[in-house]
Amino acid sequence: MIQVDHLSKIYRVHKKEEGLKASIKSLFHRKYTSIEAVKDISFSIEQGELVGFIGPNGAGKTTTLKMLSGLLFPTSGKAEVLGFTPHQRKDSYLKQISLMMGQRSQLWFDLPAIETFSLNRDIYEVEETQYRTVLNELTELLDVKDVLNQQVRNLSLGQRMKCEFIAGLLHNPKILFLDEPTIGLDIAMQKNVREFIKTYNKKYNATVILTSHYMDDVKEICKRIIMIDHGSIIFDGSMSEMIKEYANHKMLKPIFNAPVTRHELEKIGEVVEFEYPKALIHVPREQTSKKAAELLEKFDVEDIEIAEPELEEIVRVVFEKKKKI
């Protein structure tokens, strides 16, 4: 579905010194600097995959999505999506993809959402019967049938985001490029959007590439992670592979019935948090069962949970290790 080979994007940026004199001088003698937003990246994605594209601000995530969707022309390298070259922006290609950016809206604020849907039907040349079928399915899944005829400006943020999804999916795209789709939403609405993305992927076998700073989005939706930093890919693999490679510990979360000291718990492992009756202890992955048994044997424990490290922590470890290389 998607094949990227040695793709790069370099921006030529005007560099101006401070002050009026420098401004006048720059009219005749401009200085430029080059910013390498994406550096020689390569990867392939199969049909139906759910891929998390993560990294810090300025890492090159959005630039990559824009090149794959055809909004940007690459400086070098090659990208092929559905057999098309994205930057050629052929109608037959654009009708099979959708790029949704959480900070950009395609809805007309002064009109009801249904007007945008109708316009998109015409733009994508969706047959009327298919349009009605898909519209009914999406409004049912997202529970927005009652607000389609209200002005967009009068909708809540969650309702607007749901309508954005409908507008972007009416033509039943095979590939979804989602850039921060849950930004600004509350926890409950984030969960609803995640469930919808998974349902859409399963129903239509759509390929999804998702960027997000909310690690819960990645953890709940994506089975594969591509991590990018300063324009370069530093990890590409499954969640389990990343945990195995970069998380050498598990977490014990006991609740005690009787008083215990931090010093006593340090004999079990690294005590990260401790406020009686609860504690958070890191133990070596290969010794998890042994350490849990030792904890139960030596202390009066009411309950204990064995958990994997949080995704945010693992991602931080990956970045720190790569920076040292």
Q: What is the DSSP letter of 300?
A: -
pLDDT at residue 67, rounded to an integer = 95
Query: In terms of DSSP H, where are the helices of the chain?
Result: 20-26, 61-69, 91-94, 113-123, 128-142, 157-169, 187-204, 215-221, 239-246, 262-265, 288-298, 311-324
Q: What is the mean pLDDT of each run of 10 residues along the chain (325 residues)?
A: 94 78 75 87 95 88 93 94 94 93 84 94 92 91 90 90 91 93 83 89 93 86 91 90 84 94 93 93 93 94 90 80 63
- Whether 129 and 195 map to the same domain: the answer is yes
Q: Is residue 155 domain-shared with residue 76, that is, in the same domain?
A: yes
- Is the residue at 101 inside a domain? yes
Do 109 and 45 fall into the same domain?
A: yes
**Rounded to whole angstroms, how far apart are CA atoms 140 and 291?**
49
With contact defined as beta carbons under 8 Å apart, do 5 and 42 qualify?
A: yes
CB count in 10 Å sphere of residue 65? 21
Q: What pLDDT score does 3 carry?
A: 95
Whether residues 91 and 176 share a domain: the answer is yes
The DSSP element (H or E) to which 276 belongs, if any, is none
Tokens 């324009």 locate to 231
Is 288 in the same domain as 184? no
Rounded Cα gap, residues 225 and 1, in angstroms = 17
Q: What share of the chain is helix, strand, coil (3-state, %, to 5)?
A: 40, 30, 30
How far apart CA 105 and CA 143 sit, in angstroms, is 20
Residue 36's DSSP bridge partners are: 10
Judgement on whether residues 172 and 291 belong to the same structural domain of the protein: no
Q: Are 53 and 226 in contact (CB under 8 A)?
A: yes
Residue 169 in domain: yes
pLDDT at residue 13, rounded to an integer: 79
Domain termination site, one of 208, 243, 278: 243
Residues 268 and 283 in one domain: yes
CATH label of the domain that carries residue 275: 3.30.70
Classify residue 145: in a domain, yes or no.
Answer: yes
> 75 and 122 in one domain?
yes
What is the pLDDT, as a whole number, of residue 208?
A: 95
Residue 67 and residue 95 in contact, taking contact as beta carbons nearer than 8 Å: no
Could you give the count of Cα atoms lying within 13 Å of 296 in the half-sphere of its Cβ? Answer: 12
Neighbours of 313 (CB within 10 A): 16
Residues 265 and 236 occupy one common structural domain = no
Q: What is the pLDDT of residue 323?
A: 62
Q: How far apart (Å, rounded) are the C-alpha atoms in residues 197 and 48?
A: 12
In terms of residue numbers, what domain contains 66? 2-7+41-243
CATH number for position 227: 3.40.50.300
Name the domain count of the chain: 2
